[in-house]
Structure formats: structure tokens, C-alpha cells
Amino acid sequence: MTAHAETHDHHGPPLAHQSSRVDARVLGMFLFIASEAMLFGSFFTAYFFVRVVNPSAPETWPPEPYHFPVFVAGVNTAILVTSSFTMHWALQSIKRGERRAFLAGMVLTFLMGLAFLLTQVVEYIHVGFNTGDGAFASVFFGLTGLHGAHVFVGLTLLGMVIVRGFRGHYTPEHHHGVELPGIYWHFVDVMWIVVYAAVYLI
């Protein structure tokens, strides 16, 4: 015969409300991403102001005689999108307990993210204009640079996952440390799709 209240066994702060349906750590990442979306939103506002609302907006985008490296950025986009697939594969692998596939997926994701970032640096060097060459250049470097900074943060997170992964961390039951950087990485990828479409293609 046992009769007890479960709350008597609990120590520390009150338990999170279970009906939120979202794990507190995932909720934290979601709120972080929401704030990031607002940050990108402010940059996009500046971009659309310069390109559309501004009375002296250039007739062509980018204004003559400048050109964006659309093809190189397209290849870079393909690399980043592919890295999301490998990220997803890595997480699915650790959920199935396939450690080698998980590590391979993480390393591939990291390498592709690094390739994206390095290509962006090379693109900056050869793009042919600088931040002082007009508002269009400012918003170009602002938006792509902001995204590049996020890729760098994502790479740092992925790097930590890889180190922990090679140390034997993560199991099919415990892989939150992979899930959260995965969410962040996909967010970075989503933002790049928007940046690439808005700045380079349209």
C-alpha cells in the first residue's frame, strides 16, 4: 500500500509545465531562432528600403557597373543545402544507433559549412566593390555578412558535436546535443535561401 504525492520527491525549481509539448531546451532554441529571425528581418527591411522604397533606388540591381557572382553563390547555396541533408542524415543515424554514419554525417556537414564560409570570403575578395561604394553594397555585405556570422556560429556548434561524438557521447536515447545544433543549422540554411533569392536572384 503506497500513497504519496510525487511533488514531495522533487527538489529544485518547479518542473516545467508538461503541456507545452516542447522540451525546455528545444523551446529555448526556438525562442533564440525567433529573435534571430527578427534580427534578419531588420536587415531585410533595410535591404528592401534601399532597393524598392528609396526614391533614388538604382534602376538595375546591382547598379551598373557592378555584378553579383550569382553562379558562385549558387554553387555555394547547393553546398549549404546539401549540408542540411547530411545534418539530417547524421541525426537520423544517431537515433538508429549507427555511430559511424552519425560521425560521417557530422564531419561532412562541418566540411560543407566550412567550404561555404571560405567561398564567401573568396567572393568578398573578388566581388569588385566595397561597403563604401553605395547603399546597395552596404546592405549586400550587411545581409551576407550577418548570415556568414551565423554560419560561423553554426560551425562552432557542429564542431563541438563532432568532438563530443568522437569522444563517445550521444546515444539513440540521448542526442539532444545533436538535435539543437541541427535545428540551428537548418535555420541558417533557410535564411540563406531567403538571402540568396532576394539579393542575388530577384
- Residues lying near other proteins in the complex (CB under 8 A) are found at 1-7, 14, 17-19, 22, 26, 29-30, 33, 81, 84, 87-88, 91, 178-179, 182-183, 186-187, 189-190, 193-194, 197, 201-202
Helix, strand, or coil (residue 173):
coil
Burial classification of residue 68, based on how many CB atoms lie within 10 Å of its CB (0-12 exposed, 13-18 middle, 19 or more buried): buried
CB of 149 to other proteins, least distance (A): 19
- Closer residue to other proteins (CB): 8 or 100: 8
Closer residue to other proteins (CB): 125 or 202: 202
Nearer to other proteins, 164 or 186 (CB): 186
Question: Closest distance between other proteins and the C-beta of residue 27, in Å?
Answer: 9
Asked if 157 and 181 touch (Cβ cutoff 8 Å), the reply is yes
State which residue, 39 or 201, has the beta carbon closest to other proteins.
201
Do residues 90 and 178 touch, judged by C-beta distance below 8 A?
A: yes
Looking at the Cβ atoms of 113 and 182, the one nearer to other proteins is 182
Among 38, 37, 86, CA closest to 191? 37
Q: What distance separates the 2 farthest-apart alpha carbons in the chain? A: 85
Determine the Cα–Cα distance for residues 113 and 119; give it in Å rounded to an integer. 10
Minimum distance, C-beta of residue 43 to other proteins, in the bound complex (Å)? 17
Q: Least CB distance from residue 130 to other proteins, whole Å?
A: 27
Question: Which amino acid belongs to residue 181?
Answer: P
Torsion from C-alpha of 96, 100, 101, 107, nearest 10 degrees: 130
Nearest distance from C-beta of residue 85 to other proteins, angstroms:
8
